[in-house]
Amino acid sequence: MINYNNLEKDTRFKDYSEFTQKILGYLNLSDMQVEQLLTPRYQVCEDIIIDDVIDFIKNSKKLMIFGDYDADGVASTSISIMIAKHLGIEDVGYYIPNRFDEGYGLNTEIVKASYLKGYSHLLLVDNGVKAHTEIEYAKSLGLKVAVVDHHLIEKPLDDVLLLHPDHLDGYFNTMCASGLMYLVAERLNFLTPKIKAYAALATIADVMPLWNKNREIVKVGLEAMNEIPIANIDALSKVRDYTAKDLAFQVVPKINSVGRMADIVNMNTMVKYLLSDDEVLIQQYAKQVLNINDLRKNKGKTAKNIAIRQVEDGPINIIIDNSIHEGVLGIVANQVCNYTMKPAILLKRSGDVYKGSGRSNTISLKDLFSKINPDYFEAFGGHDFAFGMSVKSEMIESFIEDVETVVPTLPKKDIKQEAVLIDNVSISLLQELKQFEPFGEGFQLPMFALEKPKSYKIIRLNGYGYKYIFDDFWLKDAVYFNTEISQNELHRAQYLVGSFNIHPRFGLSFLLDMVK
């Protein structure tokens, strides 16, 4: 914990308050980052590959779009469909694979089905860089193939049109699939409110760093959502003045829950939902999504309790438990990762493999999996801080041993864990800081800490957690959405750690992340 009074001001923000200068100074921003905050950039990608993707879509007589079962997958699929329709392609199909039955990425059954249905072109979005066998099969059938993907390229794709951030200028080289399709829409001057919103949503969902083009996309997307009602998003959230944090916590988990609960719901319906302009259909489907999300949360809560009990000392937590629902492995891996501040991999047995998810907030999982034997896997892929995998059952012990050996050798990402201890702050100061939205990956505000006042009472929020109500204090209340903590722990706490929230009706409140 660091005292606000000991923070140094960043004088590059000299036109702002001392509070803003100190909080932004704490983040040690580069000159490039400060420039993007003070003078936001809007830059169109001029790479010829964007025109190639446009031509690919234009030339398709009958286009099949194959996506992925997460928020970026369905958003990029939806954006691709909107672009294809805009370009006059009337016969557009799409398919999102089942997480459990089919797993991640293209499969030969879908390729064959697409061919038999007369599709001439196959566009892979948010997948494809690993689908060498499936793409060669598609080409052997006469299908034209293009890939829009941002996952790790292990082996080059031969004679395939590939739009990938690694091949773009530095301003565009950390984008998700929806962001890449945003570049296509932007070149076409076809940035509709939905496309802006879905690209922003996916950028947040895939935890892309909020600098360069990503910052631009999220900023533009939030402005679109806050200017024009987008029923497909609004129906999933009670928020009416969106921030990046609102998308991350109020919208993204609900979309992802449909893919995670693929044993009871089809993720292809989420694409239909995102594309729909029918208010009745949107409201009906949103209710179903909210119910599915509640089920997902219940399964996740049970799994978290199971996983936390198995945490051990070591450079990484690798937990195998067959009772955990496959759809919440990634969520719980992330919770274990945040709980221990170490990488975590959760696995469960599924036939001849162990299916699992890895999360990290310290090391790059891309680096980790590039340094271990690829023969361990039936399939794997992901990003620096999130990875999915299927490990061959006969090699699971060697896999664990190898991972535990490699992790300590990898460079660690610097994580600021201190909260800034403050005595007081006004709504006007927080609103000034809010001008620098969006906050998120790569530009995360610190948590704030308050010394708990002596005069207060605690009330229970039925099914949600607790609320401190303060007497004779500059802050009215603090809410803790944690049903597992006891009131005794809340009474014993000396410091309250979390973030501020400004409600249009109720004013300033404090959302707790932890107590100390």
Place of tokens 């992925």: 68
Domain that holds residue 389: 310-409
Q: Are residues 434 and 393 in the same domain?
A: no
> Count of CB atoms within 10 A of residue 29's CB?
18
Q: Are residues 392 and 448 in the same domain?
A: no
Residue 47: CA count within 13 A, CB half-sphere: 19
* pLDDT beneath 70: ranges in the chain: 414-417
Q: DSSP letter for 467, please.
A: E
Characterize 413-437 residue by residue with b for buried, 16 or more Cβ atoms within 10 angstroms of its Cβ, and e for exposed: eeeeeebbbbeebeeebbeebeebb
Q: Are residues 470 and 390 in the same domain?
A: no
16 within a domain of the structure (yes/no): yes
Distance set, CA 307 to CA 184, 304, 318, 514 (Å): 42, 5, 10, 20
pLDDT given at position 497: 96
290 within a domain of the structure (yes/no): no
40 within a domain of the structure (yes/no): no
Q: Are residues 346 and 490 in the same domain?
A: no
Q: Are residues 202 and 331 in the same domain?
A: no
φ and ψ at 499, to 5 degrees?
-140, 160
Tell me the DSSP string of 424-459.
Answer: ---HHHHHHHHTTPPPBTTB-PPPEEEEPPSSEEEE
pLDDT given at position 417: 60
Q: What is the CATH number of the domain that holds 391?
A: 3.10.310.30
Q: What is the CATH number of the domain that holds 232?
A: 3.90.1640.30
Q: In the listed set 279, 295, 327, which residue is the last one of a domain according to the structure?
A: 279
Q: Are residues 73 and 123 in the same domain?
A: yes
- Helix then strand then coil, in percent of the chain rounded to 5, is 45, 20, 35
Who contacts 60 (Cβ-Cβ below 8 Å, separation ≥6)? 84, 89, 120, 121, 123, 144
Q: In the listed set 374, 409, 444, which residue is the last one of a domain according to the structure?
A: 409
Residue type, 95: Y
Q: Are residues 441 and 348 in the same domain?
A: no
Considering its fold, how many domains does the chain have in total? Answer: 3
298 within a domain of the structure (yes/no): no
Q: Are residues 165 and 264 in the same domain?
A: yes
475 within a domain of the structure (yes/no): yes
Q: Quote the distance between the C-alpha of residue 97 and its chain's center.
A: 19
The strands making up 353-359's β-sheet, listed across from edge to edge, are: 317-320, 344-350, 353-359, 386-392, 377-382
Q: Are 111 and 140 in contact (CB under 8 A)?
A: no
Q: Are residues 206 and 330 in the same domain?
A: no
433 within a domain of the structure (yes/no): yes
Q: Are residues 364 and 247 in the same domain?
A: no
Who contacts 428 (Cβ-Cβ below 8 Å, separation ≥6)? none
Q: Are 503 and 425 in contact (CB under 8 A)?
A: no
Tokens (6 digits) for 516: 């100390």
pLDDT given at position 505: 77
Q: Are residues 265 and 393 in the same domain?
A: no
What 3-state DSSP class applies to 297?
helix
pLDDT given at position 444: 93
Q: Are residues 257 and 126 in the same domain?
A: yes
Tokens (6 digits) for 490: 């809340």
Q: DSSP letter for 188, please.
A: T
Q: What is the CATH number of the domain that holds 432?
A: 2.40.50
Tell me the DSSP string of 40-55.
Answer: --------HHHHHHHH
> Count of CB atoms within 10 A of residue 115's CB?
18
